[in-house]
Chains A and B, each alone.
Chain A
Amino acid sequence: QPVLTQPPSSSASPGESARLTCTLPSDINVGSYNIYWYQQKPGSPPRYLLYYYSDSDKGQGSGVPSRFSGSKDASANTGILLISGLQSEDEADYYCMIWPSNAVVFGGGTKLTVL
């Protein structure tokens, strides 16, 4: 299975924006996949946030604020989760995911600290 690369940690201050990245291996084109994002807080199961394929094909999880949005950087073969107007409650681990064929691949996760 392919490996999705996420920075282990990221930090930003309340009210700022956080840009979390998920880089696909060079033999897998980010443009061909839905990128899914999950949030996990300590002691809880993951929560589905959103998916992004393109600006015309994207979706938000139930109850997920519009402050969470997705995008892609094709030149970097990367999926992006943007969290604007950071709040203390956004401090969590964030995982990207793709679903090539019938297998599932998660990124290693990014721990977001809201300073």
Chain B
Amino acid sequence: EVQLVESGGGLVQPGGSLRLSCAASGFTFSSYWMSWVRQAPGKGLEWVANIKQDGSEKYYVDSVKGRFTISRDNAKNSLYLQMNSLRAEDTAVYYCARVCRDGYNRIFDYWGQGTLVTVSS
């Protein structure tokens, strides 16, 4: 059974840092692109970042470029999101999602339950 379990969320002050983790199991983690998607309280979904299987390609939404870094450790079946210079508008539930790529298709086929990040003084 595919499982994605996020951790590392919490309350942080503006300007602070936080590192999210996503533990993957039930599939060959190193064979899949992975992503982070966030959802502010009461708002819609916003894609944050993608990372290729070997970590050689990474892509970010403009609003987090230069502040957030996506990474992975295939030996540990883990995905990470290092978040620096946090702002109030980064407050959200952060989901880890697996990307199923089939030809031109790119589907977020499995999601974790999410971890809440609150940026507030």
Chain A: residues with CB nearer than 8 A to chain B?
1, 34, 36, 38, 40, 45-48, 51, 53, 59, 61-62, 93, 95, 97, 99, 102-109
- B37-66 contacts to A, CB under 8 A, are 37, 44-47, 50, 57, 59, 61-62
* CA of A99 to CA of B47, assembled, Å: 10
Say whether, besides A34-B105, A45-B111, A102 and B44 are in contact (CB < 8 Å): no
Which residues of chain B are within 8 angstroms of A48 by Cβ–Cβ distance? 107-109
* CA of A26 to CA of B110, assembled, Å: 31
Interface size counted on chain B using CB atoms at 8 A: 22
Chain A residue, CB-CB nearest to B108: A48
Task: List 22 A-B residue pairs with CB atoms under 8 Å apart, sorted by A's residue number.
Answer: A1-B61, A36-B107, A36-B108, A38-B108, A40-B45, A45-B95, A45-B111, A47-B111, A48-B108, A51-B107, A61-B107, A61-B109, A95-B44, A97-B45, A102-B50, A102-B59, A104-B35, A104-B106, A105-B47, A106-B45, A107-B44, A109-B45
